[in-house]
Chains A and B, each alone.
Chain A
Amino acid sequence: MEKVLTVDYQKCTGCRLCELVCSVMHDGISNPARSRIKVVKWEEEGHYVPMICQQCEDAPCKNVCPVGAISRDVDYGFLTIDHTLCIGCRSCVSVCPFGAMNYNQVDKKVFKCDLCGGQPQCVRFCDMKAVDFVAADNMTTIKKRNAATRLFASQKHAAVIQDQI
């Protein structure tokens, strides 16, 4: 079953543990510059948004690659880079609308989220579940319920006020 990475940015506490474990998992190195996920912050307002690769269906990175180094993994559906083909032109970095295709200055390589091969560590370590890994055919169920709860509550609240009037 295909699963997708989702972000509920309101839950993010901004701790950046996801960045740490991402770089350790992939490179055995602690360095957020090597992380596939990055928490973008508005510190003066307390907003933190984890930015991830959306594994786009019509993926600009894949489309732009002049040597066809980017393809979709058949098992998990993520976009993956074949470094034996990659020429390091960074066109994919330029076109990604989310800034999710990264470039590593030390290794001179582009890199992106590969869902840790099906067990994303950012999700595993996020106790808030600001980043989550959910079934693709089920990803909006919780959102629907939450929104419905709000509607329901506001209607109930309105009814109480009407009663009072």
Chain B
Amino acid sequence: MALDRKIAYIDLSTGKIETRPIPIEVRKKFLGGRGLDAYLLYNHAPQGCDPLGPDNPLMISGGILTATCASATARTHIMAKSPLTGLLGSANMGGFFAPEMAWAGFHHLVIKGKAKSPVYIWIHNGRIEIRDAAYLWGKSTTETQWAIREELGDEDIKSAVIGQAGEKLVRYANVMTGIKNAAGRTGMGAVMGSKNLKAVAVRGTMDIRIAHPVDALEHNKHFIDGITGAKVNKTQGALGTPFIWGATNSWGGLRNRNFQYNQMEYADDIEPERLDEIATETIGPHHMTGCFGCQVHCRAQYKIPSGPYAGKYDEGPEYTSQGAFGAEPDCRKAETVLAGNHLVNQYGVDNLEIGSMIAWAMELFELGIITTKETDGLDLRFGNDEALLEMVHRICLRKGWLGDVLAEGGIPASEKIGKNSFDYLIQVKGMNNLHSDERGTPGLALNIATASRGSDHLRSRPAIDLYHLPEKVMRKIYSSPVPYDGPLSSEHTDYEGKPWQVFWHQNCYMAVDCLGICKYHTVFLGATLPNFEDWPKVIYYNTGLEFTPVELWEIAERCNNLERLFNLREGLTRNDLKKGDMLNHRYFDEPTRRGAPDVVGRTIDRQKFNKMVDEFYSHCGWDKKGVPTSETMQRLGLNQEPSHLL
């Protein structure tokens, strides 16, 4: 049974390992995955703990459906207090790690303490061992994974590892598995590095009995047909996320030159069709690959066709690499995007954050706030491909003054650089924004401002807002599973109704992360894809647990409130530019300069934005300061937290 997968507590300081079953009542309140991780974080992280200290607990988990006969249950979730933001740290990756961990007997790991010297954790069919990793220290993410397989003599071992960026405590280092699956955001790799933990390796052949196998199999087929039938997923399966980048760029919703423009000119060489050509030329006509059990297969494979990294194999690039090594630094060569993507995968660093940091430094260089003195002679102007890739090396290895400073993350770097450098940093809660521009889309702006882990699209973005869906369709999606009869607008430039959409998606994505499935299998990019109404069946067939759609909605609300409580406890205040639900002044003051007629010349209206936040808070059951009210705490059964059930 999926429900008999256990939780393990591993203390790296003492070497003590304890395993426990996960009680059904905990499952019923928090399901698993990110939701249960939020519960564990709130219960196990001492208030105000140092994110890079031994007290910060690191959670690694699969969802309640992981490795069952449901579609795309590939996601691994990682949580800790973030060394980048000082608030919630939370990141999610695809690949094959979480299913293998489930077959090895575990759904959740809580890793505490700090090992005296580099170690890795080896989990095999219910047994857990802490092993020496001195020989792995300094190795890249893939070298580490292959070396562990070699050492233990099993090619089916899956590992979640850090690269050199994590070892060097780059505050946005990620955790990776496979070639390019990355738990990218909020610096979870630095947390591993701070614990001297190079990798967690798993291998399992333990049965997961399916509660109703015939129904599960048939329903999965039906589910998959719906998912692969959606046009958006067909396109994803052919071009991957670059297709979104291409569409967004042509429309004017991208960040270019940090935040100066919202569209990149002369982008032909990094458009999705060109990247697809390169993949076809270097790999072959069938060059898409996917995560465990997924039929969307949104990831391209490629070899770098030219330049200093010619011939290197990698996967991607995704939207974020096109942003990080294309639009943001205004570099126009596919070769650079592909090389940048390869470097971040090897070093184990968040491509999104590093791209934003370098683009920000480039704007500061352009403005004269930093000069060749700070860059150690590097000509850090926009469009300088070599300087861009050199900065990636310097940040990941903390080389040179600027490399070391940028590795500290946006806000600490702005404090070291001084002057008015902070004004140019496009961040929320200390985390840089996705390489998109939300000035023409108030709903999306509200999403990045209020997302629990800092400026981010995967927590609550109402991305389908851009499709201008008929109101009837909007009503159908957004008034279920709980009724809603307030305003809804199909127009993405409106402010009305957006708070409800953001609230709805916040709950939807939390549910998805608790189940352990991919967001491409829900109402993220495809309006017709499964959501609350569809999941109870999948959960029942696979685990035997019964939920109603409303109960799942409530679980999602509960988990979102736990994340909120954690953030409030660690210092979130509503209008704090560095730790609050607030956007950089440029969103309000600088109109967009390019794009389609419904995008160009736009800013976010400060007053209307504040009204949206008020409304969003009220949907969430929070007061004007963004604090859950006592009724909300009562309703969701959170007034006893921390309750230490696990």
Q: List chain A positions with a Cβ less than 8 A from chain B.
A: 10-17, 20-21, 24-25, 27-34, 43-46, 48, 105-106, 121, 124-125, 127-128
Contact = CB atoms under 8 A, between A and B. Distances in A.
Given A20-B293, A124-B221, A29 B179 contact: no
Contacts of A46: 283, 287, 289, 301, 313, 315
Given A13-B289, A105-B205, 14 more contacts: A13-B290, A15-B295, A17-B292, A20-B67, A21-B69, A28-B209, A29-B209, A30-B69, A31-B205, A32-B103, A34-B207, A44-B179, A46-B287, A125-B295
Given A24-B69, A46-B313, A14 B290 contact: yes
Nearest to A24: B69
B284 interface: yes
Top 7 A-B pairs ranked by shortest CB distance?
A28-B213, A33-B205, A46-B301, A13-B297, A30-B208, A15-B290, A17-B293
A123 to B, nearest CB: 12
Contact of B210 (A11, A15, A28): A28
B213 A24 contact: yes
B588 to A, nearest CB: 44
Nearest to A16: B292
A127 B207 contact: no
24 contacts: A10-B284, A10-B285, A17-B295, A20-B69, A20-B292, A20-B293, A21-B220, A24-B69, A24-B213, A24-B216, A24-B217, A25-B217, A29-B208, A32-B205, A33-B205, A43-B178, A45-B313, A46-B283, A46-B287, A48-B289, A125-B221, A125-B224, A127-B224, A127-B228
B96 interface: yes
Interface in B280-310: 283-295, 297, 301
Contacts of A45: 313
A31 B290 CA distance: 19
Nearest to B142: A44
Interface residues of B, number: 39
Contacts of A25: 213, 217
Interface string B599-638: 0000000000000000000000000000000000000000
Contacts of A48: 289
Contact of B286 (A105, A127, A128): A128
A11 B285 CA distance: 9
A121 B216 CA distance: 13
A31 B96 CA distance: 13
Contacts of A15: 289-295, 297
Contacts of A16: 96, 292-293
Counting chain A CB atoms within 10 Å of each CB, the highest count among B217, B221, B224, B294 belongs to B217
B378 interface: no
Nearest to B69: A24
Contacts of B221: 124-125
A165 B290 CA distance: 44
B286 A44 contact: no
Given A20-B69, A28-B210, A30-B210, A10 B286 contact: yes
B207 A106 contact: yes
Most A C-beta atoms less than 10 A away, residue of B68, B178, B205, B315: B205
A25 B69 CA distance: 10
A12 B286 CA distance: 8
B206 interface: yes
A25 B218 CA distance: 10
A49 B228 CA distance: 22
Contacts of B228: 127
B634 to A, nearest CB: 39
Contacts of B297: 13, 15, 128
Nearest to B156: A32
Interface string B293-336: 11101000100000000000101000000000000000000000
Contacts of B292: 15-17, 20
A31 B287 contact: no
A29 B210 CA distance: 5
